Homo-oligomer: A and B are copies of this chain.
Amino acid sequence: MRSVQEPTIRDVARAAGVSYQTVSRVINGNERVAEATRRRVQTAIGELGYRPNRAARELAGKAVRSLTVLTSDTSLYGNAAALRGIEEAARTAGFAVSISVLDRHAALDAEELRARLVRPGEPVIVIAFDAAGVRALELLPADVPVTALVERPPGDDPDPRHVWLDDRLAATRATRHLLGLGHPTVHCLALPSSTAHTAQRTEGWLDALREAGVDAPAPIDGGWTPRSGYLAARGLLERHPDATAVLCGNDDLALGMLRAAREAGRRVPDELSVVGFDDTPASAYLAPALTTVRLDFEGLGRTGFGLLHRLLDPSAPGQEPCAEPELIVRESSGPGGRGIG
């Protein structure tokens, strides 16, 4: 089919005057090859431009270095950044990365997953920040090597194949920041939870309110996009005209919140403080620039890959840990309520 035939291990062997098995040994870094022979083979490889055939290698039972990422939407900032981290770490380790996108709306079933989304024997990393990812994770057969990027799992004995950022702590810090500015309470515009439990960011918000002995208003359900944030924010402002501070599930929701506030004539941060999550590249340039919590999604992606790598090969090197959540105070949060005002 290809006009120029790729050279095979036997072509190399012939060129180097050795057997094909010796070439295989050189390729795989086997010790038991004389230095002179090894050099001869490597020269032949270089001259012929030989590349090992993945399919043949895989068929012959060699663990093949590839993985599939399962994710719902590559254009969300967190997902895209995590994907970048995975891809980078994987490529460094010589893994090829495939990607399968989960439809957030269609109900996924195990058959579909097995038949079309993951290949037999292929290891998988699931970006499971949302319900679609979590569902895929549940449906994955037990014998598939898998790690997952998740919200912090509830319970004391979390799955060792999961990695997460400390969203709960991040939310607590952001909420403390707002309470510290003098706001009597903080409202919450929440992301959809990925599980049946309350989302971690919402839990962290509750933690801080409880800690301060403040009654928690009911959190408002948002989606993932600026549009859904905007719609939810309008509802929030209508029901709580007295709100002075809102913690939003991500920067996109916060953007929608900012707009809704503007339309309602609520000046940010003078009358209303808004805080987001993720520190997207846009957030520093919004009007007003968004106070947010920077989360190391790229690092999380690298960590997720590292965990999978060690699952497949226990001698694989460890990964640097992710950065801690970091509150970035900008213009959208300011003194409120019983504060300096």
What is the interface of chain A, defined by CB distance below 8 A to chain B? 1-4, 6, 49, 51, 53-56, 58-59, 61, 63-64, 66, 73-75, 77, 80-81, 83-84, 87-88, 91, 94, 96-101, 114-116, 119-121, 143, 225-227, 229-230, 252, 255-256, 258-259, 262, 281-282, 284-287, 289
Known: A83-B74, A98-B97, A120-B53. A226 touches B284 (CB 8 A): yes
A54 to B255 Cα, complex, angstroms: 45
Shortest distance between the CB of A234 and any CB in chain B (Å):
12
A114 to B6 Cα, complex, angstroms: 12
In contact, A227 and B284 (Cβ under 8 angstroms): yes
Could you jot down 25 A-B contacts, CB within 8 Å?
A: A1-B61, A1-B63, A51-B115, A54-B119, A54-B120, A55-B55, A55-B59, A59-B59, A66-B98, A73-B84, A74-B84, A74-B87, A75-B77, A75-B281, A84-B101, A88-B101, A91-B116, A96-B119, A97-B99, A97-B100, A227-B284, A252-B281, A252-B282, A282-B282, A287-B287
A88 to B72 Cα, complex, angstroms: 12
In contact, B285 and A255 (Cβ under 8 angstroms): yes
In contact, B80 and A281 (Cβ under 8 angstroms): no
Q: Which residue of B lies closest to A96 (CB)?
A: B98
Q: Which residue of B lies closest to A298 (CB)?
A: B75
- How many monomers of this chain does the complex have? 2
Chain B residues with Cβ under 8 A from A59's Cβ?
53, 55-56, 59
In contact, B84 and A230 (Cβ under 8 angstroms): no
Q: Which residue of B lies closest to A57 (CB)?
A: B55
Q: Output the residue of A3, A63, A88, A287 with the most chain B CB within 10 A.
A: A287
In contact, B97 and A51 (Cβ under 8 angstroms): no
Known: A101-B84, A101-B87, A282-B282. A120 touches B51 (CB 8 A): yes
In contact, A258 and B285 (Cβ under 8 angstroms): yes
A75 to B80 Cα, complex, angstroms: 5
In contact, B227 and A285 (Cβ under 8 angstroms): yes
